[in-house]
Amino acid sequence: MTDIVLVPGMCHGGWCYADLGAELRRRGHRVLPITLTGVAERAHLLSGTVNLDTHIEDLTALLAAEDVRDAVLAGHSYGGMVITGAADRMPERVSALVYLDAMVPGDGDSCWDLASENERRWYLDVTGDGCATRPLPFFDPRATPHPLASVLQPLRLTGGLERVRRRTYAYATGWDGPSPFTTTYERLREDPAWRVFAVDGGHNLMRDAPDDLVRILTESAGR
């Protein structure tokens, strides 16, 4: 059994992993989906002070509270920022990182820095109080606004991330238009330290390619 921790992208809660999590549990893994502060069932905690550090602390607190060890951390989209920061802070609890069509930041990078111009225009479509980015119209009806400060704050790394050697990237090939992750995919597939997969599906790989993700996550757990 492996602990697999699933981090959603912007505007989504842990509910987006329901079907994927059920299949991974059927295969014997302990699956821990997380909802980040200010989003979904935690939307009542939204404020202008909720930032990337808050979300990293959400994840590190879960790892400690659930006594998670040798975990696979998987992050979708913005979730790549969060799993990177958490692995840097608690590398002793993490055995592998899996990026699901996600940001792969370095020290000093913000989600804003890594996004395309289209994504930045979306980020700036904010709620009336200026605290959060609105969900896009085609998102699941359960999607809620996402804390704007979390996409603007740069990630600060301390060197702990280098202790996590197993890294996997799943690239969605079925975007309706250019993918903002193509440059990341092309860079990482030339890096022997990474396992890289091109997956036939749109950005929401949990919906479009669940069987592929089950295989990728199971292999990451078993390596």
110-135 tens-digit pLDDT: 999 999 999 999 999 999 999 999 99
Q: Which residues are catalytic?
A: 77
Specify the pLDDT at position 1: 85
Residue with tokens 């002070």: 49
Specify the pLDDT at position 223: 61
Segments forming the whole domain that contains residue 170: 3-222
Q: Are 135 and 65 in contact (CB under 8 A)?
A: no
Specify the pLDDT at position 222: 81
pTM higher than 0.85 = yes
Identify the helix (H) or strand (E) that includes residue 200: none
CATH code, 44: 3.40.50.1820
Specify the pLDDT at position 87: 98
The C-alpha atoms of residue 103 and residue 82 are separated, in whole angstroms, by 9
Say if residue 53 is exposed, middle or buried (CB neighbours under 10 Å; 0-12, 13-18, 19+). middle
Token couple for 19? 């079907």
Bridge partners (DSSP) listed for residue 72: 4, 96
**Which residues, given as ranges, of the chain have pLDDT below 50?**
none
Count of structural domains, the chain: 1
The residue among 80, 72, 122 whose CA lies nearest residue 99 is: 80
The residue among 160, 167, 218 whose CA lies nearest residue 192 is: 167
